[in-house]
């Protein structure tokens, strides 16, 4: 397959998306967001339909279209909504829709980690800061928006620059990814089962292949699991025997991800920990409030402390 | 003619390799999300919304990583999304502390208020 989509058609579609985005950005007067969103959505729709026509035997499933529509629509609202609180809430919607896409890509652990970390922690921090850094409404200005929220800065130039970037990126990706061979097509992670004795045991117990007290034989750290033959040596009250794996036994997403994280990138975890620690220290130092106490107050505090200690000593 | 898996969740055929055309669909969505975040970062003046837009760009990068991870059936892509999450969390903590500090000084979230460093 040479072209998934003709470059001219791709660029025209992206121009339509850019026009829609440019129209939808907030302006000082009226900003026709609905028209802009519809233009952008039609641009994306044209590109997706043309791609679908050329890739009829490899379409992503229906949920992909639903989730990506929600994700991109909510992302558009994040960028265009004049009120920061709504932007943050639409961002949560983007996160949830991306989690749907992650699930479609069989990354279950990351999908739920994303909900917990992003929607649960980071966005709540954003909402707190929006609450902290908002001016209280005054007598004359109760229901107004700040000027810097309602007027976008250089919408035309930003849109053109971004859309040119996307046009180049997608053009390269589409021609390049067609020639990219998958690295381990069809390779399964079953080799990991040799290090997961409890998982194998539990799967066997679930199917009733072994009894409750049976254990996989461990000869001085050498587990008797034969992954290639899909069987394991099990010791029970009636002696040792080879038991076949259940048919659908394979490592789960979390197990494979955990092995990859700790086997392939052990140093990166340490660095990530240091980054988080530094961020915490930095945030504490930045947001600390310095309390100025003059000499008189310090002396008074010291006297109070001395008196309190003296009273304790007498008692 | 429609693909038979059109209405089926993807995990059911998980160890099977994903077609390159399907990968391209995900990459398109990722690129568009990145572009929307970039436009927001360039055009909005509210400091908090600007940082929200960087989070949007992190999201897009994560989606591309996960799509490639699925395409190659290689878990390092998902592992790197964990590090992207870490960096995003650290960035949010630092950036928001700075925003609160700046807001205390000028009572405004306008990025154009802070132009002293402009040449």
- CATH number for the domain including B39? 1.10.287.3510
Confidence of residue A21 (pLDDT cuts 50, 70, 90): confident
Q: ipTM of this predicted complex?
A: 0.89
Assess if residue B39 is contained within a domain.
Answer: yes
Residue B3, in any domain of the structure: no
pLDDT at A278 over 90: yes
Q: Are both A194 and A171 inside the same structural domain? A: no
Task: Pick from A162, A164, A271 the residue to mutate for testing the B interface (most B CBs within 10 Å).
Answer: A162
> What average pLDDT does the structure give for chain A?
81
The answer to whether residue A174 neighbours chain B at the CB level (below 8 Å) is yes
For residue B7, tell me if it sits in a domain. no
- Region A260-265: what's the mean pLDDT? 87
Band (A203; pLDDT cuts 50, 70, 90): confident
Number of domains present in the structure of chain A: 2
Let me know whether A85 and A229 are in one domain. Answer: no
Sign of CA dihedral A238, A242, A248, A253: positive
A213 CA to centre of own chain: 41
Residues on chain B touching A76 (C-beta within 8 angstroms): 36
Residue A247 lies in a domain: yes
Residue B117 lies inside a defined structural domain of this protein: no
Residues A157 and A206 in one domain: no
d(CA A26, CA A170): 27
CB proximity list for A144: less than 8 A, separation 6 or greater: none
In which element (H, E) is residue B69 found? helix B47-72
Specify the DSSP element, H or E, that contains B43.
helix B20-43
CB-CB under 8 Å, B35 with A165 = yes
**Same domain (yes/no): A44, A66:** yes
On the CB side of B97, CA atoms within 13 Å amount to: 16
Q: Do A126 and B81 touch (CB under 8 A)?
A: no
pLDDT, tens only, A157-190: 888 888 888 888 887 777 765 667 777 655 667 7
If you ran DSSP here, which 8-state letter would residue A118 be given? I
Q: CA B45, CA A28: separation in Å to the nearest integer? A: 13
Contacting residues of B for A129, CB less than 8 Å apart: 48, 96, 99-100
CA-to-CA separations, A76 to A165, B27, B33, in angstroms, rounded: 17, 18, 9
A197 and A170 together in one domain: no
Whether A146 is covered by a domain: the verdict is no
Give contacts of A 10-39 with B, CB under 8 A. Answer: 17, 21, 25
CB distance A204 to A233 below 8 Å: no
Interface contacts A/B by beta carbons within 8 Å:
309
Overall number of domains in chain B: 1
CB contact under 8 A, B86 and A272: yes
Q: Find out whether B111 and A293 touch, Cβ atoms under 8 Å.
A: no
Give the minimum alpha-carbon distance from B29 to chain A in angstroms, rounded to a whole number: 7
Q: Rounded to 5 degrees, what angle do the CA atoms B6, A46, A13 make?
A: 140
- Cα separation values, A293 from A72, A296, A301, Å: 52, 8, 10
Distance CA A271, CA A275 (A): 6
Binned at pLDDT 50, 70 and 90, residue A114 comes out as: very high
pLDDT at B56 over 80: yes
Q: Indicate whether A155 and A201 sit together in one domain.
A: no
Query: Structural domain of residue A195, as residue ranges?
Result: 188-278
* pLDDT value of position B6: 60
Number of residues that this document lists for chain B: 119
Distance CA A172, CA B92 (A): 32
Q: What is the pLDDT of residue B12?
A: 53
> Which residue of A69, A79, A91, A265 to mutate against B (max B Cβ within 10 Å)?
A79
Residue ranges of alpha helices (H) inside chain A are 7-24, 33-54, 62-80, 84-104, 108-114, 123-132, 147-150, 155-179, 197-207, 253-264, 266-287, 295-314
Instruction: Answer whether residue A102 shows pLDDT above 70.
Output: yes
Asked if the C-beta of A286 comes within 8 angstroms of chain B's C-beta atoms, the answer is yes
Which positions 208-267 of A are in contact with B (Cβ < 8 Å)? 250, 256-257, 259-261, 264-265
Domain that holds residue B92: 19-110
pLDDT at B89 over 80: yes
Same domain, A169 and A25: yes
Question: Are B54 and A93 contacting, i.e. CB atoms less than 8 angstroms apart?
Answer: no
Tokens of B102: 């700046």
Are residues A46 and A163 both part of a single domain?
A: yes
Output the CA–CA distances (angstroms, integers) from residue A83 to A75, A144, B98, in the order listed.
Answer: 14, 10, 20
A chain contacts of residue B4, beta-carbon cutoff 8 Å: none
Q: Which residue has the tokens 């007067």?
A: A29
Task: Assess if residue B115 is contained within a domain.
Answer: no
- B79 and A63 within 8 Å at the Cβ level: the answer is no
Does A18 lie in the same domain as A164? yes
Query: Same domain for A159 and A207?
Result: no
Question: Taking a contact as any Cβ pair under 8 Å apart, which residues of chain A between 175 and 204 contact chain B?
Answer: 177-178, 180, 182-189
Please state the rounded mean pLDDT for residues A105-129.
89
Contact check, Cβ <8 Å, B100/A129? yes
Query: A32: domain CATH number?
Result: 1.20.120
pLDDT bracket for residue B2 (50, 70, 90):
very low
Q: Is A148 in contact with B75 (Cβ distance < 8 A)? A: no
B39 vs A91, A159, A250: nearest CB: A159
- According to DSSP, the residues that pair with A315 across neighbouring strands are none
In a domain, A65, yes or no: yes
Residues contacting A59, CB < 8 A, separation 6+: A52, B2, B3, B6, B21, B22
Residue in A57, A98, A103 closest to B63 by CB: A98
Q: How far apart are CA B69 and CA B53, in angstroms?
A: 24
Rounded to the nearest 10 degrees, the angle between the axes of helix B76-106 and helix A253-264 is 80
Query: Is the sign of the CA dihedral B20, B21, B26, B30 positive or negative?
Result: positive
């Amino acid at each position: 397959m040479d072209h998934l989509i003709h470059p001219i058609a791709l660029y025209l579609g992206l121009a339509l998306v850019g026009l829609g985005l440019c129209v939808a950005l907030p302006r000082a007067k009226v900003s026709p967001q609905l028209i802009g969103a519809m233009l952008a959505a039609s641009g994306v729709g044209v590109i997706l339909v043309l791609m679908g026509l050329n890739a009829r035997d490899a379409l992503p499933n229906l949920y992909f279209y639903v989730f990506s529509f929600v994700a991109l629509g909510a992302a558009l609202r994040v960028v265009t909504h004049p009120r920061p609180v709504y932007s943050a809430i639409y961002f949560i919607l983007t996160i949830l829709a991306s989690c749907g896409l992650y699930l479609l890509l069989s990354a279950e652990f990351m999908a739920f980690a994303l909900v917990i970390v992003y929607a649960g922690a980071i966005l709540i921090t954003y909402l707190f800061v929006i609450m902290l850094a908002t001016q209280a409404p005054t007598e004359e200005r109760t229901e107004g928006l700040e000027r810097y929220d309602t007027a976008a800065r250089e919408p035309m130039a930003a849109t053109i620059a971004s859309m040119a970037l996307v046009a180049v990126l997608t053009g390269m990706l589409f021609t390049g990814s067609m020639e990219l061979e998958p690295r381990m097509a069809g390779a399964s992670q079953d080799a990991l089962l040799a290090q997961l004795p409890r998982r194998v045991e539990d799967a066997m117990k679930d199917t009733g292949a072994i009894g409750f007290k049976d254990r996989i034989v461990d000869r001085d750290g050498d587990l008797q699991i034969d992954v290639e033959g899909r069987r394991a040596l099990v010791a029970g009250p009636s002696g040792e025997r080879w038991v076949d794996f259940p048919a659908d036994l394979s490592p789960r997403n979390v197990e494979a991800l955990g092995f990859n994280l700790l086997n392939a990138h052990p140093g990166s975890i340490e660095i990530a920990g240091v980054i988080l620690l530094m961020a915490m220290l930095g945030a504490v130092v930045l947001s600390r409030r310095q309390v100025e106490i003059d000499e008189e107050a310090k002396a008074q505090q010291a006297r109070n402390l001395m008196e309190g200690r003296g009273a304790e000593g007498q008692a | 003619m429609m693909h038979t898996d059109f209405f089926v969740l993807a995990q059911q055929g998980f160890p099977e390799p994903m077609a390159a055309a399907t990968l391209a669909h995900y990459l398109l969505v990722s690129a568009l999300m990145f572009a929307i975040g970039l436009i927001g970062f360039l055009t909005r003046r509210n400091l908090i919304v600007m940082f929200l837009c960087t989070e949007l760009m992190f999201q897009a990068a994560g989606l591309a990583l996960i799509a490639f991870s699925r395409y190659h059936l290689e878990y390092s892509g998902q592992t790197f999304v964990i590090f992207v999450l870490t960096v995003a969390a650290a960035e949010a903590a630092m950036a928001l502390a700075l925003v609160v500090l700046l807001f205390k000084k000028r009572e405004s979230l306008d990025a154009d208020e802070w132009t002293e460093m402009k040449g």
